[in-house]
Chain A
Amino acid sequence: MKTSGLHSLLWILVVSVLSFSCQDEITTTHTFRTMVPVYLEMSDIRARTIEIEPAQPLDNPGKIYIYGDYLLINEPTKGIHILDNTNPSNPINKNFIPIEGNVDLAINNNILYADNYVDLLAFDISNLSNIRLVKRVEDVFTHLYRHDTGEIITYKDTVLTTENPYWGGCANCEFYTMNASLSFTANYAAAAQSYGTGGSMARFTLSSGHLYAVDESTMRVFDVKSPADPKFIKPIDLGWGIETIFPFQDKLFIGSNRGMHIYDASTPASPTRMAVYEHIVACDPVVVNEDFAFVTLRSGNFCVNNINQLQVINIEDPYRPYMMTSYPMLNPHGLGLAGDNLYIAEGQHGLKSFKVSDVMAIDQNQMEFLESMKSVDLIPGPKSLIVIGPDGVCQFDYSTPSKLKKLSCIDVKNPVVVK
């Protein structure tokens, strides 16, 4: 048995050794993130009723809005969380309003304005246990329309695996990292870019009975003097690369990736351009007081100029803004001004605070530099300084401006990553 068994084994081995092919087989697969177009009929979206849901965990927060004792936090393209912030040391997540395609919000007299793809919605939130949709203004954010057919196009993040490199894979797909401009217009990443507000990175803002909404190239003006009945007045063309809007007194300061636009909004229904302060391409939120605008420029992924600084722009004559001085920074993102105290989110480097009563000597008046507090944006609120960073949405007691005291952090499933 032994030998015959071995015999056959040996023959199997001989045959197998001789019969196998010795040609290498090489196969390549490509796996990549892409944006797959999703076509939606607005008529379908309008037909769905919006049911208020119980509290949902924060996933990837976008804009943050402070309203009285409440914090409203946008979940880009999904809806809005409502948190009770009566005690900033312990904010309580209360409700979630699911709104498809939502990126931004603003509140006026208990009326919440929120975008729903091409429409603007108005909710009555005076009673949180009975939030009602009171008005839908149709067809205002028309840049999302594909054609004039009532069909809109949005993009869904997807991962594809194919045997072809991306350009041969999916005909209508857009390669993710190659297409920054698309992601801005595609509503999706517009959200990802606007971290929060009341703060310096807002895209919806309220001023003297009007709601101003900026997208990449257009400002849309709504009359909200009767809060529950917003009326679309007109679009105003701004030029490309618009990122943020900040109202101050009767002016609107609009940050673009090329500079800062100053609009006179003394006739609120029809703001007119006073000046454009141009600088080189960089990412730049703006905050303003009577005489000065503070602008941060940073080198980032889209804004590739290798420059990181805080610029102080004199706006005493809003028709002739000029830069007074600038200070080198590490990687400034959002900023917030509370009286004479300026707070700057320095990305992965932390959080800085300055006294800015003497704008020519800001660098000599640094109050604190919290290197452990990585941050991308902040909002000086009436109760607390809200800081958005990789730890989630954190609140600080800043009643002593030079000494921030952490009160709480709201956990976030997918917090921002700062590089």
Chain B
Amino acid sequence: MQSKSPKMKVQFLFLFIYFLAITTSYAQEKAYYNQTELGVMIGKVEDQWSGTTEDRVGFSMLTFHGAWVARYHVVGLSLGYDNYESVKIIPVAFGWRGFFGDEGKAQLIGGFDIGGGSTILQDEEKTEWGESWWEGGMMLSPSVGGFFPGKNGKTSLTVTVAYKRQEVFQYNGTYDQVNPALQIANSNLPPGFSYLTETNYLLQSMVLRVGLSF
């Protein structure tokens, strides 16, 4: 995880999902399902110095695009925006939505999203002495919610409670000023660095979202 390649992987995943999203939405016009929600993420973070636990609250947005694959099942892709205190993440995931209850009435929705988070919104910082950057990691989010059809029969209201587990890495590297060409075999230091700090954040949140579906 200490090379810059995971970032690449997440970016590839992002592109792949983007194209898949376009193709699925065009191919299955009629069977298309969309659910777009806004809400808050609530988590707890332990202060590194005092050891006290503080609440972490941030804005979260998720848009799910899917296709009906069975009477009660939608499979698709989700794309979002999560604003954690320390980092802004674009989660990109494969998702499933399952419906329980009679059609045309209020239903329960179950959901599951699995994918990665991109840190493309975070700037890399470079100085004479080193650089720091972020890399996204795995994202996993099961959810349950309510599905309330609107009067026109097209647009419905959704309310969701989800658990979101997002991995993200922060790197702080110091350049090797002495002998930047020196490479040590099997070294997990990127070339040109003499010191690298990797901070692995496993961000766990409860997410409350409200949105529309059609």
Contact = CB atoms under 8 A, between A and B. Distances in A.
Nearest to A159: B187
Contacts, number: 136
A171 interface: no
A26 B42 contact: no
B122 interface: no
Given A10-B110, A13-B110, A21 B204 contact: yes
Contacts of A146: none
A156 B1 CA distance: 25
B93 to A, nearest CB: 15
Nearest to B141: A17
B196 A22 contact: no
A165 B198 CA distance: 11
Interface residues of B, number: 51
Interface string B133-172: 0000000001110000000000000000111010000000
A180 interface: yes
Candidate in B111, B144, B187 with the most chain A CB atoms within 10 angstroms: B144
A24 B196 contact: no
B132 interface: no
A31 B98 contact: no
Given A13-B144, A30-B195, A161-B188, A24 B202 contact: yes
Nearest to A26: B201
A31 B144 CA distance: 41
Contacts of B45: 23-24, 26
Nearest to A31: B196
Nearest to B48: A26
Interface in A150-176: 157-159, 161, 165-166, 176
A28 interface: yes
Contact of B178 (A16, A26, A189): A189
Nearest to B180: A417
Contacts of B195: 30-33, 166, 177
Contacts of A157: 182, 184
The 4 closest A-B pairs by CB, nearest first: A417-B181, A25-B202, A32-B195, A159-B187
Interface of A: 2-3, 6-7, 9-10, 13-14, 16-17, 20-33, 60, 157-159, 161, 165-166, 176-177, 180, 183, 189, 192, 301, 414-417, 419
